[in-house]
Chain A
Amino acid sequence: MSVQSNVEVHSEWGIVSARQAGRNLAKELGFGGVDQARITTAISELARNIYLYAEKGEIVLEGIEKKEAGGVHRGLRIVAKDQGPGIKSVREVMEDGYTTSGGLGAGLPGVKRLMDEFDIDSITGEGTVITVVKWLR
Protein backbone atom coordinates (compact mmCIF):
# COMPACT_ATOMS: atom_id res chain seq x y z
CA MET A 1 0.00 0.00 0.00
CA SER A 2 1.35 3.39 -0.90
CA VAL A 3 -1.12 5.79 0.68
CA GLN A 4 1.06 8.25 2.53
CA SER A 5 0.78 11.85 3.47
CA ASN A 6 3.05 14.33 5.17
CA VAL A 7 1.80 17.29 7.10
CA GLU A 8 4.12 20.07 8.19
CA VAL A 9 3.43 21.34 11.68
CA HIS A 10 4.70 24.84 12.37
CA SER A 11 1.57 26.59 13.57
CA GLU A 12 -1.60 25.73 15.40
CA TRP A 13 -3.22 25.23 12.04
CA GLY A 14 -0.81 22.42 11.34
CA ILE A 15 -2.43 20.57 14.24
CA VAL A 16 -5.84 20.92 12.63
CA SER A 17 -4.68 19.88 9.16
CA ALA A 18 -2.72 16.90 10.52
CA ARG A 19 -5.77 15.51 12.26
CA GLN A 20 -7.99 16.12 9.27
CA ALA A 21 -5.54 14.24 7.06
CA GLY A 22 -5.51 11.48 9.68
CA ARG A 23 -9.27 11.26 9.78
CA ASN A 24 -9.47 11.03 5.99
CA LEU A 25 -6.86 8.30 5.81
CA ALA A 26 -8.46 6.37 8.68
CA LYS A 27 -11.83 6.52 6.92
CA GLU A 28 -10.25 5.40 3.67
CA LEU A 29 -8.59 2.44 5.36
CA GLY A 30 -11.93 1.37 6.80
CA PHE A 31 -11.58 2.28 10.49
CA GLY A 32 -14.85 2.60 12.42
CA GLY A 33 -16.06 5.79 14.04
CA VAL A 34 -14.55 5.11 17.45
CA ASP A 35 -11.13 4.25 16.08
CA GLN A 36 -11.25 7.32 13.85
CA ALA A 37 -11.73 9.39 17.00
CA ARG A 38 -8.83 7.56 18.68
CA ILE A 39 -6.55 8.14 15.70
CA THR A 40 -7.37 11.83 15.24
CA THR A 41 -6.98 12.45 18.95
CA ALA A 42 -3.58 10.75 18.99
CA ILE A 43 -2.48 12.84 16.00
CA SER A 44 -3.70 15.98 17.70
CA GLU A 45 -1.67 15.22 20.83
CA LEU A 46 1.47 14.42 18.84
CA ALA A 47 1.14 17.49 16.63
CA ARG A 48 0.53 19.71 19.62
CA ASN A 49 3.66 18.39 21.30
CA ILE A 50 5.66 19.27 18.19
CA TYR A 51 4.21 22.77 18.11
CA LEU A 52 4.63 23.38 21.84
CA TYR A 53 8.12 21.98 22.34
CA ALA A 54 9.90 21.94 18.99
CA GLU A 55 8.02 24.72 17.18
CA LYS A 56 8.16 22.81 13.92
CA GLY A 57 8.25 19.29 12.64
CA GLU A 58 6.14 16.94 10.61
CA ILE A 59 3.54 14.22 10.90
CA VAL A 60 3.78 11.34 8.42
CA LEU A 61 0.67 9.20 7.95
CA GLU A 62 0.80 5.90 6.17
CA GLY A 63 -1.36 2.84 5.53
CA ILE A 64 0.59 -0.33 6.32
CA GLU A 65 0.13 -4.10 6.15
CA LYS A 66 1.43 -7.15 7.99
CA LYS A 67 0.94 -10.84 7.38
CA GLU A 68 -0.54 -12.92 10.17
CA ALA A 69 -2.28 -16.21 10.72
CA GLY A 70 -5.71 -15.59 9.31
CA GLY A 71 -4.67 -13.20 6.58
CA VAL A 72 -3.26 -9.77 5.94
CA HIS A 73 -3.66 -7.21 8.69
CA ARG A 74 -3.99 -3.54 7.76
CA GLY A 75 -3.20 -0.58 9.87
CA LEU A 76 -2.32 3.08 10.03
CA ARG A 77 1.06 4.33 11.11
CA ILE A 78 1.72 7.82 12.43
CA VAL A 79 5.25 9.12 12.69
CA ALA A 80 5.79 12.45 14.45
CA LYS A 81 9.26 13.91 13.90
CA ASP A 82 10.92 17.07 15.03
CA GLN A 83 14.39 18.51 15.51
CA GLY A 84 13.48 20.12 18.78
CA PRO A 85 15.18 19.97 22.18
CA GLY A 86 14.31 16.29 22.71
CA ILE A 87 12.77 14.74 25.79
CA LYS A 88 15.00 14.73 28.86
CA SER A 89 13.28 11.89 30.65
CA VAL A 90 11.13 9.58 28.58
CA ARG A 91 10.07 7.79 31.75
CA GLU A 92 8.68 11.00 33.24
CA VAL A 93 6.68 12.06 30.19
CA MET A 94 5.08 8.63 30.09
CA GLU A 95 3.68 9.12 33.59
CA ASP A 96 0.04 10.10 33.86
CA GLY A 97 -0.36 13.64 35.08
CA TYR A 98 3.19 14.73 34.26
CA THR A 99 3.04 18.10 32.53
CA THR A 100 5.38 20.91 31.66
CA SER A 101 2.79 22.92 29.75
CA GLY A 102 0.07 23.24 32.40
CA GLY A 103 -2.13 20.80 30.52
CA LEU A 104 -3.77 17.65 31.81
CA GLY A 105 -0.60 15.59 31.50
CA ALA A 106 -2.58 13.00 29.56
CA GLY A 107 -0.78 13.57 26.25
CA LEU A 108 1.82 10.87 25.63
CA PRO A 109 0.56 8.19 28.03
CA GLY A 110 -2.88 8.86 26.55
CA VAL A 111 -1.59 8.39 23.00
CA LYS A 112 -0.04 5.11 24.07
CA ARG A 113 -3.38 3.87 25.38
CA LEU A 114 -5.26 5.03 22.27
CA MET A 115 -2.98 3.17 19.87
CA ASP A 116 -1.84 -0.46 19.54
CA GLU A 117 1.88 0.17 19.16
CA PHE A 118 3.96 2.98 20.58
CA ASP A 119 7.62 3.75 20.16
CA ILE A 120 9.55 6.80 21.23
CA ASP A 121 13.05 7.76 20.25
CA SER A 122 14.47 10.99 21.56
CA ILE A 123 17.95 12.48 21.78
CA THR A 124 18.45 15.58 23.89
CA GLY A 125 19.40 18.49 21.66
CA GLU A 126 18.68 16.62 18.43
CA GLY A 127 15.02 15.85 18.33
CA THR A 128 12.28 13.30 18.83
CA VAL A 129 10.66 10.64 16.67
CA ILE A 130 7.47 9.04 17.94
CA THR A 131 5.99 6.16 15.95
CA VAL A 132 2.54 4.78 16.70
CA VAL A 133 0.35 2.23 14.91
CA LYS A 134 -3.35 1.40 15.03
CA TRP A 135 -4.40 -1.94 13.51
CA LEU A 136 -7.74 -2.50 11.84
CA ARG A 137 -9.84 -4.97 13.82
Chain B
Amino acid sequence: MRIPILKLNRYLLISIQVDLDDQTALQFQEDLLNKIHQEGSAGVVIDLTSVEMIDSFIAKVLGDVVEMSNLMGARVVLTGIQPGVAITLIDMGIMLEEVPTALDLEQGLEKLQQELEA
Protein backbone atom coordinates (compact mmCIF):
# COMPACT_ATOMS: atom_id res chain seq x y z
CA MET B 1 0.00 0.00 0.00
CA ARG B 2 1.27 3.48 -0.86
CA ILE B 3 0.05 6.79 0.45
CA PRO B 4 -0.63 9.30 -2.35
CA ILE B 5 1.38 12.55 -2.27
CA LEU B 6 -0.22 15.54 -4.00
CA LYS B 7 1.65 18.56 -5.32
CA LEU B 8 0.25 22.08 -4.98
CA ASN B 9 2.60 24.79 -6.25
CA ARG B 10 5.57 24.80 -3.90
CA TYR B 11 3.89 22.48 -1.44
CA LEU B 12 3.19 18.80 -1.02
CA LEU B 13 -0.08 17.66 0.52
CA ILE B 14 -0.63 14.29 2.10
CA SER B 15 -3.80 13.04 3.72
CA ILE B 16 -3.34 9.76 5.53
CA GLN B 17 -6.58 7.82 5.32
CA VAL B 18 -5.54 4.33 6.33
CA ASP B 19 -4.66 2.53 9.51
CA LEU B 20 -0.88 2.79 9.20
CA ASP B 21 1.07 -0.42 9.41
CA ASP B 22 4.82 -0.27 9.83
CA GLN B 23 5.70 -1.04 6.22
CA THR B 24 3.33 1.57 4.83
CA ALA B 25 4.72 4.15 7.24
CA LEU B 26 8.32 3.47 6.22
CA GLN B 27 7.40 3.39 2.56
CA PHE B 28 5.70 6.75 2.99
CA GLN B 29 8.82 8.19 4.59
CA GLU B 30 10.88 7.18 1.60
CA ASP B 31 8.33 8.30 -0.99
CA LEU B 32 7.96 11.72 0.61
CA LEU B 33 11.70 12.39 0.77
CA ASN B 34 12.08 11.37 -2.87
CA LYS B 35 9.22 13.63 -3.86
CA ILE B 36 10.70 16.61 -1.97
CA HIS B 37 13.98 16.00 -3.74
CA GLN B 38 12.32 15.65 -7.11
CA GLU B 39 10.05 18.71 -6.82
CA GLY B 40 12.25 20.95 -4.70
CA SER B 41 9.24 21.57 -2.43
CA ALA B 42 9.37 24.32 0.18
CA GLY B 43 6.69 22.96 2.47
CA VAL B 44 4.71 19.84 3.34
CA VAL B 45 1.37 19.41 5.08
CA ILE B 46 0.58 15.96 6.45
CA ASP B 47 -3.08 15.73 7.45
CA LEU B 48 -3.89 13.15 10.11
CA THR B 49 -7.61 13.82 10.55
CA SER B 50 -8.55 10.23 9.69
CA VAL B 51 -5.82 8.62 11.77
CA GLU B 52 -7.29 7.00 14.85
CA MET B 53 -4.11 5.89 16.52
CA ILE B 54 -0.44 6.84 16.61
CA ASP B 55 1.78 4.51 18.59
CA SER B 56 5.42 5.06 19.48
CA PHE B 57 6.68 3.54 16.24
CA ILE B 58 4.53 5.67 13.97
CA ALA B 59 5.26 8.72 16.13
CA LYS B 60 8.96 8.07 15.59
CA VAL B 61 8.51 7.70 11.83
CA LEU B 62 6.56 10.97 11.70
CA GLY B 63 9.07 12.80 13.90
CA ASP B 64 11.91 11.51 11.74
CA VAL B 65 10.17 12.49 8.53
CA VAL B 66 9.77 16.06 9.81
CA GLU B 67 13.42 16.26 10.76
CA MET B 68 14.62 14.70 7.50
CA SER B 69 12.43 17.02 5.42
CA ASN B 70 13.79 20.01 7.32
CA LEU B 71 17.30 18.87 6.44
CA MET B 72 16.23 18.86 2.82
CA GLY B 73 14.89 22.39 3.14
CA ALA B 74 11.15 21.66 3.37
CA ARG B 75 9.07 22.76 6.38
CA VAL B 76 6.53 20.19 7.53
CA VAL B 77 3.28 20.90 9.38
CA LEU B 78 1.14 18.11 10.88
CA THR B 79 -2.58 18.85 10.87
CA GLY B 80 -5.80 17.36 12.16
CA ILE B 81 -4.38 15.31 15.04
CA GLN B 82 -7.50 14.05 16.83
CA PRO B 83 -8.05 14.66 20.57
CA GLY B 84 -7.76 10.96 21.42
CA VAL B 85 -4.53 10.66 19.48
CA ALA B 86 -3.08 13.80 21.10
CA ILE B 87 -3.98 12.63 24.61
CA THR B 88 -2.57 9.16 23.96
CA LEU B 89 0.71 10.63 22.73
CA ILE B 90 0.97 12.86 25.82
CA ASP B 91 0.14 9.89 28.10
CA MET B 92 2.94 7.96 26.45
CA GLY B 93 5.32 10.86 27.00
CA ILE B 94 5.73 11.57 23.29
CA MET B 95 5.65 15.34 22.87
CA LEU B 96 6.78 15.72 19.22
CA GLU B 97 8.24 19.00 20.46
CA GLU B 98 9.94 20.21 17.32
CA VAL B 99 6.99 19.46 15.09
CA PRO B 100 4.75 22.35 13.96
CA THR B 101 1.02 21.62 14.05
CA ALA B 102 -2.22 23.19 12.87
CA LEU B 103 -5.91 22.43 13.25
CA ASP B 104 -6.65 21.52 9.65
CA LEU B 105 -5.28 21.56 6.12
CA GLU B 106 -6.30 25.16 5.52
CA GLN B 107 -4.60 26.48 8.64
CA GLY B 108 -1.65 24.23 7.95
CA LEU B 109 -1.09 25.89 4.59
CA GLU B 110 -1.45 29.31 6.21
CA LYS B 111 1.15 28.39 8.78
CA LEU B 112 3.58 27.25 6.11
CA GLN B 113 3.06 30.48 4.24
CA GLN B 114 3.79 32.53 7.36
CA GLU B 115 6.86 30.53 8.27
CA LEU B 116 8.29 30.78 4.78
CA GLU B 117 7.66 34.51 4.64
CA ALA B 118 9.18 35.16 8.05
Contacts and interface: CB of A to CB of B under 8 A. Distances in A.
Q: Do chains A and B touch in the complex (CB under 8 A)?
A: yes
Interface of A: 12-13, 15-16, 19-20, 23, 33-38, 40-41, 44-45, 48, 96, 103-107, 109-110, 113-114
Contacts of A13: 21
Interface string B50-61: 001111110110
B22 A15 contact: yes
A16, A19, A48, A106: most-surrounded residue (chain B CB, <10 A): A106
Contact of A37 (B57, B60, B88, B93): B88
Chain A, interface SS category? helix
Interface string B35-71: 0000000000000000011111101100000000000
Chain B, interface SS category? helix
Interface of B: 19, 21-23, 52-57, 59-60, 82-85, 87-88, 91-94
A53 to B, nearest CB: 14
A96 B88 contact: no
